[in-house]
Every structure is written in C-alpha cells, then in structure tokens.
Structure 1
Amino acid sequence: MYRFVKNTTIVGVAAALAFGAPIAQACNLGPEEHGQGIVKPVEPGPEHTSGEAEIVMHSGQFTEVTEIAAVELEEIDGVSVTTADVYAHKDHAYLGTHRGARSNEGVRVFDMSDPHNPEEVAVFANDIPGTWQEKVIVKSVDTPHFTGDLAVVSLQKYNQDETEQSGTAIYDVTNPERPMQLGYYELPVDVLTGTHELYLTTQEDRAILLLANIYADYYTEGDYHDFTVVDVSDPANPEHLYNWDPRELVEAEDFDGMNYTDEDGAERTAFAHSVITDKKGEYAYISYWDLGTIIMDIRNPDQPEVVGHTTFERDVQGAAHSAALAHDDTILIETREVFEPDPDDPEFERGWGYTRIYDISDKSNPELISDIRSDNSMEQIKEGERERGTYTVHDPKVEGDKLYLSHYSDGIRLVDISNPHKPREVASYVPSAANVWGVFIYGDYILGSDMGSGLKVLDVNWGTAPGGPPTYTTPRDRMTTSLTGIQPMIFSALTFSR
C-alpha cells in the first residue's frame, strides 16, 4: 500500500482510469487511481516450467493435496475476466470479479454438485457499468420480511464517468441459478471508491450487513466514515444503523481521514479494508490497515462499542487486511497485505506481508503469540534479487485446527494451528503463473480463486506428522525443507510464558 498526499484537485482522472494494467495494491482501489499518484503494475506470478500446479508436502507430513478441477471464467462480449474472491453456500460457489479489463463482470455462480466438474450456471450484479464486484457473501436468513438465501455484493467504481453508484447490491439467491435483486444500499456520491469488502451476519430474526467502505472518510472529509452497519432484515429497504469514526482511536492531529503520523514518527494509513464477525454475530473484527484489527461489540448493532484492537511495532508496516477466528474465537488470525517489500522508511522491516496470530481470550488486550512467513516474504532477499511476482499473504480461512492462506504468487498454504503458538505448514498448492486471490472451505474440498485462471478445486487429505509437532528453540526456526525443493514457510514463535 502506498502513502498518498491529499490533493483536493482531481487532475487526470480519465487518464488514470483508462490505464488498463493491474495495480500494485491488487486488492485495493487506491486514491492514486483518481489522479493522486502513479499507477504501478503488478508483476505476473512466476511461470512453472511444468505448466501444471505445483503441490508440495513438507517432509514428515502425510497431508495430501490434489487439484481436481480448474475452470476459467467465461468471457462476456469477448472481454477477459479477472477473478476476485470466492465464497460457497450449500451446493454452489460464488466468484467475484476484479476490475480487470474495466468491464462489469459481476458475480459468477457455479453448480458444485460434482466438485470435479463445476458448471457456471448464472451471473448477477453485472448490470451497473463502471463498477466491479470483488466480494460476495451468501447466508440463509429468516426475518419477518424475508426467508431464504441472501447474497450481498460489494460495488466499487472503476469509472466515475460511467456511474455514481457504489455500495452494496442485495440479491435473493434461494434459487442460485435465478438470482433476483431485492435492494441496494448506496454510499454518498463523494466516495470515489465504494464498498470494498463486506460481511453478512444474523442476530435472531435480524440480518445485519457490515461494510468496509474503503477511503470513504478521506473522500468525504470526515462526513461519512469507512465502517458502516446496516440492517437488511427487509432487503428491499436497507436501514442505516451506524457509522464509526476512527478518530475514537486516531489521536494524531494530522489525520486526514486516511493518513497520519503515529506517536513513534512512522507515517501510517488507516482505512477499513474488510470485516468479519464471530458465528453468533456478537463481535465484529474490522481490518483497519495500520490501525490494526478493531474488535467491536455489535450485540446492539445500533450502538456498537470498540472493546480492543491489535497494534503494530515501529518496524512493522501494519496493513491489517483480513481476519479469521480459531479455537472458539479465542485466537485471531490477522493477515497483512504488504506490497512494499523494500519500504522507503529505513526503520520498517523488509519483506512482503505475512500473517500474525493473537490470543484474544481478553478481547480488550490482544496478545501477539506467533507469526507465519514464507521464504519469499522474508528480508533475506537482497534488493534487485527478488523473485518476479507478488508474494504477500492475502486472505485467511479456518476450519478447526486448520488454517488456509491465499498468498498470490505463493499460491495456497495449508497450516496446522492446533498449537497456535507453534503453527506449522503441512502443504502448499501453487498453480502455474499463480496469482491466488481467495480461498474458501467447501465441505471436504478447498476452493481457490486465481486472478488469471479462475476457480480451483482442491481435495485435501489432512494427515499428521510422525512424532507430533516440531520443537522450536529460537524465534525463527525453519520448517523442514519440502520434498520438491520449493521454498517452505517460515514460522516465527515469539517469547511467551506458556
């Protein structure tokens, strides 16, 4: 993520928006795209000479990973599609689409009744030109106004000349092959980005929508903030409930709604990037970039309260991107999407973004207990010697003691977190020219979304390591080398009392 100087005069918007290459912060639509900076292209992932997926099992592990399907998205009107996030509900998978070729590609729906042969059966939210639909969440809800399967879709602008609309589109997908739009929550026109990521949860007979409206505070000069809570119990009539002002936590005088200088003199950026809740819909976890992961009590969604948040040391670039929960919601997984492996700030650590694990038994005081790094994210690679590609971690998903990480050019990483103080990778999956955006757990299968090549379906047979988990004696003990020689993950265990 790049730092930006606010410029109230938007110059060169058309030129910036017409620039067709992907941008360095591939997940973010930053202010530089509206004439406030330089658009930097993402380098493609590394080409594997085999032309096939590279599946790695580390020594001493019985875990097996098999790619059983790989399906590219169908083009509409001859325009190529760039895949964004993946979600699954019941027997269908939902793929969002990235801004890619600057075409409104919508959400693609796949029939997953045969995981070996996914079939694209529908597309929706592709009728608002000038927008892209990265994120979709689908839940079964039962309210006085609606009973069925509800899909919420993020709408972001990529062309201000084509649309003023951004926010969230709401669909009935009870029949996923015939989606029907029910409602729309619209952001202020001044917000030149839109809803970046979102989440849908339920509280008894209410359906609650939580929005991360990236840079909204910056663009509206504080009149409308990034994180919003909306009641969608009546999907046709969304009800705005709450909008959180980050100034509750950002005390810096120079805070302009996005940029500020922290108490240690580091230049920081604060914006709502994504949000999840626990299973009961009682607490929200808002990934607020350099401000950390905000833990918010939403049991009363009309008046949420911040109860705690993670923080970053002076040398850490921040960039809280996404979150997941484990161990009965006592463990927080925080992924950090860092696109600047060689930062200008000499006090910042070098390397791509990696994952941090916190004990949140006390939500008011998250305790950092370990982190997870790949070789390609590490500092040891000298300037000018980095591998081609983008090696930051992206999204986490958890099931039981298993953690799955999408990692762009590092594919999908499978991590055993039965002991979250000592996580260990057991396998990885790296497709050809990998650029893996999302990962999702679908029954006995794992779904991945690759920006360039679409939907991936993996069959994972989890195993155990002989002799139990490895013993760590130093903060950065390396895992055993992989069977094929590909760079394994590195785990950094912090000093702790238990």
Structure 2
Amino acid sequence: MLIAATLRGALLCTVLLLTSACAADGPVVGDATPANPSRESSAPSPGGASDGVIKSDNVTLVANVPRAAPFNGDDDFNTDLAFQGDYAYVGNFGGFSVFDIGDPAKPKLVSQVACPAQQNDVTVYRDLLILSVDEPQSGERCGSSPGTRSWEGLRLFDISDKASPRYVGAVATDCGSHTHTMVPDGDTLYVYVSSPGPEPESLTCPAPHELIQVVEIPMDEPASARVVAKPDIFPERRHSTFAAGCHDITAYPEKKLAAAACFGDGVLLDISDPVKPKVLQQLTDTENFSIWHSATFNNDGTKVVFSDELGGGGQATCDRNTPATKGANAVYDLVNGKLERRGYYKIPREQQETENCVAHNGSLIPVPGKDVMVQAWYQGGVSIWDFTDSANPREIGFFDRPPYPGGGIAGSWSAYYYNGYVYSSDIKAGLDVLRIDDPLIDPAKQVTMDDFNVQTQKSY
C-alpha cells in the first residue's frame, strides 16, 4: 500500500492519498474556536455510539464525544492524544481540540484550534503544545495562503489559556514530522522528530535524510526553537527495508534509553546525551515485521514491545489469512543490555474484510509488578493485554465497534490509560472514555499522573 518510495504520511496516509483524504490546507476557523459551553458528553444511549459494539464484560463505555465542527468532515480524522491535569488534547487532521476531563464520564469541549495538516500528532509540556506536520504547506502558520508548498515540521502553541490556545512559532524539519518525542532537560525541551524520506524532487524532503532530527526548545522562549542535530543513528542500514527515516521513538529519560521504530528496523538507543543518541542495538525481523511502527517500555525498562503496522493502517490484516505474528506486537526482554524476542501478541478476534485493522498506538497501564498495556487496533477496537509472561501474552479486556458504515478508514487511532480510565481517539466516532473493572487492573487506579505523553515514559 506504500506509494512510491517516500512513505509519506506513513503509514495510514499512504492509503489516504489514494482516497484524497490527506487534504491540503482547508478553511481556517481561526487560531482558536471557543467551544459551546453547553456541549458535553453523556453515557451512550440506544441508537448512539455503543450500538453494535462487542466488548468484554469488564469494559464499559462511559462517554463518547463525537467530532465537532469544523473537525467532523470526511477528511478530519482524529489522531493522537496527550494529557495534562484535568485536560485531554486530541489531534485531528483539521487541528486540535482541548477537553476538560475533570469528570471523565462527562468530558467537556473547551476549545478547538483550526490548523489543517496531515498527522497533527500532539504533545504537551508545561504551557507548550507541539503539533507534528507531515505534509508540505505554503507556510508555517495555520491557514497559510495557497502557494508553493515549501514548509513542514513542528508548530508550537501556548496553552496557558485552555479556552484560547495561541500560536507562538514553528520549526521547519526535513521531510516534516510524522511523529515527535519529547526529552525534557530542565528548562530546555529536546524533541526528536521522526519522518520518512527522502523525496529527491521535494522542496521539503531533500536527500540525504538522516534518521532523527533533534529540536531544541528553550522553555522561556519557545519561539526561538531550532534544529540542533541530525544524527544518523545507523548510517550503514545494510539490513533496512527502507532507505531512511523513523516512524516513532519512545524515550525513557530516567533510564537514559529510547526505542526507535525505524520502518525497517527496531533500534535501542542510549540517550544519556539527548543531542547525541547512540545505537546500542539494531533489530530486524524480515519474516514477521513489515513496518516497525512504535515501541513501549515496561515500567522497569527491562522489556520493549515493538508493533508492526502491516498494510500501513489501511488494510484488513486481522483476518484468518494473516498470521498472528504479522501486524502484531513483538515482546522483547532486555537481557544483559541486549533485546531478545520472547513472543507475539495480536487481538484474538477476526475482523471483517472491510475493517482496516492492525497494531497501532497504545500505552502502559501502571499496574505495579505487572506488565499491562492498552492499545488501539483501528477497526479492531481497543485491547487491554498482559505481557508479564513475555512468551505468553494474553488479552484481559476489549472494546470493538462494528464495521464503519460504507467502509473506509475508521476505528481507534490511539488508546491510552490516564488516571483510572482509557481514552480512545476514534478516527470517525470521536473521543471515547472507557472504564475497565478487573482485579488485575485495579491497583493502577491508585496511581495518579500529573500529565501523560505516551512517547515520553515515566516510572510509577
């Protein structure tokens, strides 16, 4: 499903380009559109977002907030999530939204910022919000006028006023930013930018394209952010499936480690010096892995779960014709400083041929002494699974909507656990809030997080 050699918008958007869903700049509503204060969610009712759902008995859908205008068009896909205090931030191809989740059963839409671009994956740190833009634009600001598409990278917003986020600057990066990872260092925030490339004929993605770009953001003056390094973390790339670029990096600053999913390879990194990451190990799995998509450490930093986005997010790979080791998760144990593969996990429910389904974004659930994750699987829904026994991972709960009417790209893009609830960013259905009531999970409810960005792990 990949188009040409660029991996542009990898990987879901390689499919979307075929359907014209990766749109150019659209109409801009303004830097911030205040929400209707009366809009809030309620428990799903008959005929609503829970119709036709299959789920385990221990999972309950407590709230669903549908996408709201101007982010409810066919091309306005919900994407990634970040959390801070009583707020959730939801990326969308049209921009991003801020929700008050002080009462998880009744999330309230606080504001929306119209800023159309592909991806718009979001992170938050202090009063700063960062958006990944992986699509050439005519300029760095939201709603740039039509013209030569010569900019892509990171956009920065001041979110001190949640009702009115304010654009403060941008950083151009080669081949844009498909995803990004924060590595805080006091009053300086380092950001690892991951993107596919190169595209020799592109104005924004010239060759050669190094695997990581490091952006330095002074927190007292974020508008002065700049690229400070472009480390090529394994220059030979003799065994890589793709020429260059990484899809996703997860950093664990306390452990001085990061795990990078670089399309054709998995990489374990030493980030003692965040500007000069060093390769500790390069992994390949040409038999089972197609697209190394993302990584998650366990709390002890002794395991890494790598996921494979077979088909780029647009194919039905959760069917009887696709082996359980493909489009799945691989569990690696870290033994004497080296990762050793132990097992695979894939959802046990077969999906229909109209349902795009593959392993996608998930997070660790903070269960002391156990290794438990929640994960999005597009139209495969949300799965909660235990990999404490690395060789024998097992599912302990799930939530799965029926096929999206009329087919097309849909389902959960990201599913993360935050302070007692699972929040799922559904591409078409909006923001879901799930509760899991299970003895294994209950200890996690005693853990309170002040903020949460999935690609920057903290111990609990």
Q: Could you say whether these structures have the same fold, taking a TM-score greater than 0.5 normalized by the shorter chain as the test?
A: yes
1:120 to 104, 109, 112: 109
Q: In the alignment, which residue of structure 1 is the partner of 2:135?
A: 157
The reply to whether residue 398 of structure 1 matches residue 393 of structure 2 is no
The reply to whether residue 338 of structure 1 matches residue 310 of structure 2 is yes
Q: In the alignment, which residue of structure 2 is the partner of 1:410?
A: 380
After superposition, the Cα gap between the structure-2 partners of 1:376 and 1:387, relative to the gap in structure 1 and judged at 3 Å, is farther
Q: In the alignment, which residue of structure 2 is the partner of 1:244?
A: 231
Q: How does 1:168-207 map to 2 (within 5 A)?
A: 168-188=154-174, 191=175, 194-207=176-189
Instruction: Tell me the SS of whatever aligns to 1:280.
Output: helix
AA in 2 matched with 1:336: D
CA contact (8 A) 1:96 1:136 kept: yes
Residues 68-117 of structure 1, C-alpha deviations (whole Å, 9 max, x = no match): 1011121129845321112221111111113xxxxxx2111111111111
RMSD of Structure 2 on Structure 1 (CA) = 3.4
What is the distance in 1 between the residues matched to 2:82 and 2:231? 27
Q: How does 1:240-279 map to 2 (within 5 A)?
A: 240-245=227-232, 248-251=235-238, 268=242, 270-279=244-253
The percentage of counterpart residues that share the same residue type is 20
Q: In the alignment, which residue of structure 2 is the partner of 1:296?
A: 269
Q: How does 1:21-60 map to 2 (within 5 A)?
A: 27-29=12-14, 33=17, 51-57=51-57
Q: In the alignment, which residue of structure 1 is the partner of 2:217?
A: 232
AA in 2 matched with 1:285: A
- Kindly state the Cα deviation for residue 172 of structure 1 after the two structures are TM-superposed: 2.0
Instruction: Tell me the SS of whatever aligns to 1:236.
Output: helix
Residues 29-82 of structure 1, C-alpha deviations (whole Å, 9 max, x = no match): 58x95xxxx66999xxxxx9982432124xxxxxx2110101112112984532
- Kindly state the Cα deviation for residue 281 of structure 1 after the two structures are TM-superposed: 7.3
The reply to whether residue 371 of structure 1 matches residue 366 of structure 2 is no
After superposition, the Cα gap between the structure-2 partners of 1:268 and 1:84, relative to the gap in structure 1 and judged at 3 Å, is same
1:430 to 391, 394, 400: 400
What is the distance in 2 between the residues matched to 1:371 and 1:133? 28
Q: In the alignment, which residue of structure 1 is the partner of 2:89?
A: 94
TM-score (norm 2): 0.74
After superposition, the Cα gap between the structure-2 partners of 1:75 and 1:460, relative to the gap in structure 1 and judged at 3 Å, is same
Larger CA Rg, structure 1 vs 2 = 1
Q: How does 1:442-457 map to 2 (within 5 A)?
A: 442-457=418-433
Residues 212-233 of structure 1, C-alpha deviations (whole Å, 9 max, x = no match): 1222476545344241111112
Instruction: Tell me the SS of whatever aligns to 2:384.
Output: strand
After superposition, the Cα gap between the structure-2 partners of 1:179 and 1:349, relative to the gap in structure 1 and judged at 3 Å, is same
Structure 2 residue runs without a partner (length 5+): 23-47, 139-145, 405-409, 442-460
After superposition, the Cα gap between the structure-2 partners of 1:29 and 1:316, relative to the gap in structure 1 and judged at 3 Å, is same
Q: In the alignment, which residue of structure 2 is the partner of 1:326?
A: 298
Q: In the alignment, which residue of structure 2 is the partner of 1:137?
A: 123
State the number of aligned residues. Answer: 386
After superposition, the Cα gap between the structure-2 partners of 1:236 and 1:166, relative to the gap in structure 1 and judged at 3 Å, is same
- Kindly state the Cα deviation for residue 26 of structure 1 after the two structures are TM-superposed: 5.6
What is the distance in 2 between the residues matched to 1:396 and 1:113? 22
What is the distance in 2 between the residues matched to 1:217 and 1:302? 25
Instruction: Tell me the SS of whatever aligns to 2:310.
Output: coil
Residues 18-37 of structure 1, C-alpha deviations (whole Å, 9 max, x = no match): xxxxx9x663458x95xxxx
Instruction: Tell me the SS of whatever aligns to 2:264.
Output: coil
What is the distance in 1 between the residues matched to 2:72 and 2:276? 48
AA in 1 matched with 2:412: V
CA contact (8 A) 1:86 1:438 kept: yes
What is the distance in 2 between the residues matched to 1:93 and 1:5? 35
CA contact (8 A) 1:88 1:440 kept: no
